[in-house]
Structure 1
């Protein structure tokens, strides 16, 4: 019983951290450009993950050409494009709405699996997708940008939705990797490749960036993203997901929008409206309906990116 409770706490904390990344990302890009902050984040995360990989698994696993290709595509869609769309998106919209939209990933995976892998969409999954779409449409039509109060909110929400697609592609591509590649190794490789994708753009931004302008707090956002979101959340999730059924672990993804909404209100001082409450209710309902079906634990590997 104690082991199960510890697993539940680990899963909840992991999702709470992922939800907090939306708020931290919004604060981070206010002072440090998207490409530069992301490049530094993945450099730090990659260094830490390589050390962990050598400590726990004694080095890099052998990779086939197919594995390398899939890891590159995973990193491009689920790390590079995901980070760009999310960080630019949260800069245009609210942290609350960003958090609600990013929590629709399980449904996005189901839709893409249907079109790309020809997997059948069960009635439960279809209902979950409908509820999630209703939640996203509610906040887009009636949320921050719905009344013209923020002319960039709709574009920001669309960019966050595009980030969700990138994350969903990451999850689907993971199914194509050799089974001998561990989650820690996958996280290490995609972080390394992610850093390489960001490197030329980060270097360009660094040439004209005043590194003395951001304060200690601003730089701490980059460290938080690298060490807490990328490394710690990964560890917490996988330490919990191996001890409970996949369907149970999936339910904990509903902590993500709750965390994002709560922290946006506390830290960003954003107002939580009835529209947000309605959107959250639809999305969480969709998550619960969706994850009650049998899933593999591997489907949540983007936590490490």
Structure 2
């Protein structure tokens, strides 16, 4: 989640220079070039069952296409700092999905933590609307649409956990993602000339190797050990790294509104992860 947060700032820089479908497509193709030989070396020839492939295809649709479309389009209108804060509502959305779809039982503290995360997003969005920052508000809402896609991906990945080896599952998800994105990228193929700039090409490679390779491997491995609701809570770590990159690298301004949003998100994480009494 720290790497995902750091990539919010990287995605904003890429979205300012390249078409959104192309960024996502090239990211997935680069990831496949790394994951395919890695899967063969580490896990051998694995043939996932049709049901597992359907699950991975849906993960690609929601976790890559919808998430990237919402995130990258939103970051064209809002700041990386606020985009990271909006992404911090992911624990709430995952918690609700875990309870409704996976039938995971959530305690009162988990529901309260999810509510705090929602309030945190509402604070920054309402503040923007009140200040006449319509562009930021719309951007924040687009990023939240990406959150919905990412939450669906988390829940689908949890259902698949343990059925397909980690690297193989990561490869197939990226392969399905690339297949979905190639047709959408063709109208802007000429824009790839911008990658002749070493800095932009380097950002794309970093974005692909971290967001589409390392993050996936860590996430799939972690989901084998913890419930989806618990995994969702740790996505609250995302806005912290997003904020560091936004302020230190992109030079964005940290305001009292952002401070209040972080306070609410931090309270959400603390409330959700504080050890309960009477449990060993």
Q: Which TM-score applies when normalising by structure 1?
A: 0.81
1:79 paired to 2:61 = no
The equivalent position to 2:148 in structure 1, one of 165, 169, 173, is: 165
Change (3 A) 1:249 1:115: closer
Change (3 A) 1:116 1:232: closer
Match in the other structure for 2:131: 147
Residue in structure 2 matching 1:95, options 49, 59, 80: 80
Q: 1:242 to 1:91 in 2, by over 3 A?
A: closer
Task: Report if aligned partners of 2:82, 2:140 keep a CA contact under 8 Å in 1.
Answer: yes
Question: What are the Cα deviations for residues 48-96 of structure 1, in whole angstroms up to 9, with x where unaligned?
Answer: 011110111012x222221121111111011111111111011111111
* 1:239-278 superposed matches below 5 A: 241=222, 253-278=235-260
Inter-partner Cα distance in structure 2 for 1:133 and 1:243: 27
Residue in 1 that maps onto 2:23:
37
CA drift of 1:214 comes to 5.9
Cα distance in 2 for residues equivalent to 1:70 and 1:259: 30
* Residue in structure 2 matched with residue 199 of structure 1 by the alignment: 182
Q: How does 1:122-137 map to 2 (within 5 A)?
A: 122-137=107-122
Number of positions where the alignment pairs a residue of Structure 1 with one of Structure 2? 275
Shift of 1:112: 1.9
Unaligned stretches of 5+ in structure 2?
none
After superposing the two structures, state which structure 1 stretch, 223-232 or 171-180, moved more. 171-180
Counterpart CA distance in 2 for 1:41 and 1:173 is 21
Structure-2 separation of matches of 1:198 and 1:74: 14
Between stretches 105-114 and 212-221, larger displacement belongs to: 212-221
Change (3 A) 1:20 1:35: same
